[in-house]
Structure 1
Amino acid sequence: MQILDKGGFRILGDAFPAKWRDLVEAANPRGFYESTLVQGINYKTNPDPKSGVWLPPDKVSHVAVKIFADGLVKTDFAYIDRVVFTIRRWQDCEASQQRLDEIKSKHPEIDGFDINVHRAARLPKGYLWWKANFSLVKDMRTRGYPVAAVSYEALLADPEKIVDSVFRWFGAGDAIAAASAVEKSLQTQSQVEYADIDHHLGDVFDELYDTLDRNKKITAGLYQQWLDVDGRIDADIDRRLSSP
């Protein structure tokens, strides 16, 4: 979101919402720019349930908002113009998730975390990453809105190239100023290897990431394979969460 802010877009959301700046600032000193809209723009969040402020779809041109993958799936189509889908390797996300889980477990009184620590702890590594990212892949194919997938790895490797490409696609904004917001030194997570992950699933997770990172075509056959894997993961999640 810092990139879009630097590039001249109006941002909805605070750098450090609620009361958790002191807890998570070390993870991202420039802020997260999150709001209640991370859960999607729909009848539950718009109008804002606390302030009553309503965002009409014809008044949000050149406005950017951060929405989680499962929130985008629940977002009214009228509010979707272009989507920049950022993705990280599942191993990196697991490391980040673990750190936030630790913060949440120590500070249950702090609002603003969309984390169910107990639920996450009962699931194999990578499951939450898969469900978030594949749900977005399914929604993209179903509703057909314009999407640019950008991996964190590619952005750090060549920020000027990636940002220029995305801003050309936007048709608006200052790409040079936006690229200056990328600070490689702020990367605070490193990839962790997990010995307990099913190797077949790990390969599928890597395949999903690689396909999006390299902007490869998702063939009908590949998509069906992912649907089959998704069904098996859903069944396993239900089994694990229903057991004592």
Structure 2
Amino acid sequence: MLIVTGTPRSGTSMWMQILVAAGFEAIGEAFPGDWRALLASANPDGFWESQLLGGIYYRTNPHPLTGAFLFPDQTNFHAVKIMVPGLVRSDLAYVDRVIGTVREWRQFAVSRTRLRELHREQAGLESHEAILRHELPPALEWWVDNFGLLRDIATRRYAAHVCSYQSLLEDPDKAIAEVLSWLGRGDQARAVEVVRPERQTVQACPPTPADPQVDAEDIEVFDELYDHIHRGRALGAAFLATLNDTDARLRPRLLAHEARARVAAAQEMLAEIDRPKLS
């Protein structure tokens, strides 16, 4: 499969739209279910998501409802969006090519927060449900997903093309030409028409959040990692060591945050049970 991956709000939907316009068959729908009514304001051109968003493995293939099975040799050039955690758990037989898209982490934090608020408003989530659904602060989520993507590429050594979302918006012709040339097929002219920079919801690089849940040393690494990806710079041995050290430093914070989130959610649920009921 031709897998599009990244964090949420990093351009994965746009890359799916590009591939569909270029002539690739997609797995998924622009607006699954009632998403058009609920989330069209967050992405007017569609999300192109499916049951494979969380990975293609024994729980999703065969399809849990229809029983339809996707064969590796029949889906080599089918485009599908799979988030990073799903890619990591996907069977390697289906990972033919991967397009990874990375957004600057401050922009991601603003956009991710906006989408979470929209989810909460539209879905009517209780506070404990929101806590369980969004465990990580955006800055930490950005790190976990992007470091996880790089580690998975290095570990399983599949063909991957990783680029920044901003580079696509700045020069769509160049970014799309590189990918379609790498894939060896696709209608570039039609694909370029899909890119509409004016649709971007976060136009400029926002300031660092007052409490990003990461310290100055982490922020420096985040910025350097993004700069490498945005400029297409190779990750040298010294910088790879820095990335590994940063992940080791952040890991206890991630585990502690998850534990606190689960305790807070449990407390909210217990408080809900104890509230007086109408008789």
TM-score (norm: length of structure 1): 0.91
User: Residues of 1 paired with 2:163 and 2:136: CA distance?
Assistant: 27
- For the aligned residue pairs, the C-alpha RMSD in angstroms reads 1.9
The answer to whether the 8 A contact 2:76-2:94 is kept is: no
Q: Tell me the residue number matched to 2:43.
A: 28
User: Residues of 1 paired with 2:42 and 2:211: CA distance?
Assistant: 26
Unaligned runs of 5+ in 2: 1-15, 264-279
The answer to whether the 8 A contact 1:7-1:178 is kept is: yes
- Opposite residue 25 of structure 2, the aligned amino acid is R
The answer to whether the 8 A contact 2:109-2:138 is kept is: yes
The answer to whether the 8 A contact 1:87-1:151 is kept is: yes
Task: Check if 1:129 corresponds to 2:142.
Answer: yes
Q: Tell me the residue number matched to 1:196.
A: 211
Shift of 1:120: 7.3
- Opposite residue 152 of structure 2, the aligned amino acid is D
Moved more, 153-162 or 208-217: 208-217
Q: Tell me the residue number matched to 1:151.
A: 164
Once the two structures are superposed, what CA deviation does each residue of 1:44-103 show, in whole Å capped at 9, x if it has no partner? Answer: 111111111110001013210011111111111111111111111111211222122112
The answer to whether the 8 A contact 2:180-2:188 is kept is: yes
Q: Tell me the residue number matched to 1:235.
A: 252
User: Residues of 2 paired with 1:124 and 1:100: CA distance?
Assistant: 13
Q: Which has the larger radius of gyration?
A: 2
Moved more, 207-216 or 165-174: 207-216
Question: Post-superposition, which runs of at least 4 consecutive aligned residues in structure 1 deviate over 4 A?
Answer: 119-125
The answer to whether the 8 A contact 1:104-1:117 is kept is: no
Distance 1:108 1:217, change over 3 A: same
Distance 1:228 1:120, change over 3 A: farther
User: Residues of 1 paired with 2:132 and 2:224: CA distance?
Assistant: 25
- Opposite residue 192 of structure 1, the aligned amino acid is P
User: In structure 1, which of residues 57, 61, 64 is the aligned counterpart of residue 76 of structure 2?
Assistant: 61
Give the length in aligned residue pairs.
Answer: 239
Moved more, 190-199 or 159-168: 190-199
The answer to whether the 8 A contact 2:97-2:159 is kept is: yes
User: In structure 2, which of residues 146, 155, 176 is the aligned counterpart of residue 142 of structure 1?
Assistant: 155
User: Residues of 1 paired with 2:228 and 2:51: CA distance?
Assistant: 31
Q: Identity of counterpart residues, as a percentage?
A: 39
Shift of 1:11: 0.7
User: Residues of 2 paired with 1:240 and 1:153: CA distance?
Assistant: 30
Shift of 1:195: 2.2
Shift of 1:105: 2.3
Once the two structures are superposed, what CA deviation does each residue of 1:7-49 show, in whole Å capped at 9, x if it has no partner? Answer: 0000111111122222211121110101111111111111111
Shift of 1:124: 4.4
